[in-house]
A and B are shown apart, each in its own frame.
Chain A
Amino acid sequence: MKTVYHTNRHCSMQKGPAGFWNGLRSRLTERLNDHVAQCPRCQRRLAMVHRVELALTLVKTQPQDIGLLARANTKALNTLKHSLRNAPKSAALRIAKADLSRLEKMRPGLERVLSAAACVFIVFMIKTGISRSLLDYKEQGEAVIKNYYARNLDDSLFNEIFPDDASHSV
């Protein structure tokens, strides 16, 4: 154990200060994980903290109405001075919309690309005959399973499991 520790330290010293800190951090994380795995009190504490994090995530991901900013601006502007209310900038503020995230802005384009990729994939599957062979494989598998059950189960149970093949077995 001692040798392993020494070797790790030697390696981390060679990598420089960043390597040393990374090594120390990973060792601490390891020790913490080991402790948490054995300590019920810490497990409870962690679960409680995770619950708060979950609640915070839920609050953050709660969708916001797109017209909320415009409504809030309008309400706030209505209480300001007449000169401010009628300024050209305030007209733009009354119709302002919340900034969409980069991912949301890219969503239409991404959707189009994904649909095209899906189409290409299906065409590729048909061309190469993969889908046909997959279907064959599935049918063969089903037939094997049916045969197995037909041999090992009585008729009533078999008919219950495979109602479509009831006529065949009778």
Chain B
Amino acid sequence: MAINPTSLGLTFDLTQARSVPKSQRWVLVSMQEFGPALVTMLWRILGNEEDVCDAYQDTFLRLAHLPNQQKPHNVRAYLFKTASNLAISMLRQKRVIHKYRELLARDYQPDTDNPVAELDSIQLQQRLREAITELPDYLGAVVVLRDLAQMPYTQVANILGIRTAAARVYRHKAIKLLAEWMSQSENREER
């Protein structure tokens, strides 16, 4: 049996806890402060628990391993921007895999039309997520932060480093594009 402080019942954990360097504590503080909102945003973007955990982990991993372990000027902005970018990339990857699987399935299975599925809310959400991945990054980020993270325009503008009016314009453009693309995909499915 390995002899270590834990096996000997020593209070090593406590001493170790005290030894957390001050320069690193902000990582845990940010996790405590922004974690719940981040998880909610990721859940709304991804809709899958495994993916949420992966994206969340990657976000904090990047934060903790910044060059020279420096704290970003605006931790909140860094976290939300990184998380939304990661989540959208994950959605894009999943979409490619899904398309590939669909192509394979089409070769081996006959097409089945399901009119009820069109009304399905899950399909509607899926279509929205797919459309979000098609948006240019600057528009996608605004929709994610404004509509899925439910931040006010001033905060969205602050995080993205743009003006509040620009954030409003981007959101308007994004919704217009989403509406067009979602109706196009619906029409394609109907055919």
Whether B28 lies near A90 (C-beta < 8 A) is yes
Whether B128 lies near A59 (C-beta < 8 A) is yes
What is the size category of the interface that chain A forms with chain B? 35 or more
Whether A51 lies near B47 (C-beta < 8 A) is no
Q: How far does the alpha carbon of A69 sit from the alpha carbon of B56 in the complex, in Å? A: 10
Beta-carbon nearest neighbor of A80 in chain B: B64
B74 to chain A, nearest CB (A): 20
Whether A60 lies near B128 (C-beta < 8 A) is no
Whether A59 lies near B17 (C-beta < 8 A) is no
> Chain A contacts of B40 at CB under 8 A?
64, 98
> Chain B contacts of A9 at CB under 8 A?
none
A69-B179 CB under 8 A given contacts A80-B27, A86-B13: no
Beta-carbon nearest neighbor of A86 in chain B: B16
A83 touches which of B20, B31, B49, B121 (Cβ 8 Å): B20
A56-B128 CB under 8 A given contacts A93-B32, A96-B35: yes
B149 to chain A, nearest CB (A): 10
B residues 24-53 touching A (CB-CB < 8 Å): 24-25, 27-29, 31-32, 35-36, 39-40, 42-44, 47, 49, 52-53
> Chain B contacts of A87 at CB under 8 A?
17, 20, 25, 28
Q: Is B77 an interface residue (CB 8 A)?
A: no
Beta-carbon nearest neighbor of A63 in chain B: B43
B145 to chain A, nearest CB (A): 13
Whether A80 lies near B60 (C-beta < 8 A) is yes
A72-B35 CB under 8 A given contacts A55-B124, A84-B20, A93-B28: yes
B121 touches which of A58, A72, A86, A92 (Cβ 8 Å): A58
Per-position binary interface string of chain A over residues 141-157, scored 1 when its CB falls under 8 Å from any chain B CB and 0 otherwise: 00000000000000000
> Chain B contacts of A48 at CB under 8 A?
179-180, 182-183
B78 to chain A, nearest CB (A): 15
Per-position binary interface string of chain B over residues 74-85, scored 1 when its CB falls under 8 Å from any chain A CB and 0 otherwise: 000000000000
> Chain A contacts of B19 at CB under 8 A?
83
Beta-carbon nearest neighbor of B16 in chain A: A86
> Chain B contacts of A49 at CB under 8 A?
175-176, 179
B167 to chain A, nearest CB (A): 16
> Chain A contacts of B25 at CB under 8 A?
87, 89
A64-B183 CB under 8 A given contacts A79-B57, A84-B28, A98-B36: no
A54-B124 CB under 8 A given contacts A45-B179, A76-B61, A83-B21: yes
Whether B125 lies near A83 (C-beta < 8 A) is no
A76-B31 CB under 8 A given contacts A48-B179, A51-B183, A65-B49: yes
Task: Name 13 A/B residue pairs within 8 A (Cβ), A-sorted.
Answer: A45-B179, A51-B183, A56-B128, A59-B148, A60-B148, A64-B39, A73-B35, A73-B56, A76-B61, A80-B61, A89-B28, A93-B28, A98-B36
* Contacts A71-B53, A89-B32 supplied; 15 other A-B pairs, CB < 8 Å: A49-B176, A52-B128, A55-B124, A56-B147, A59-B129, A68-B53, A72-B42, A75-B54, A76-B59, A79-B64, A80-B64, A82-B16, A86-B16, A98-B36, A98-B39
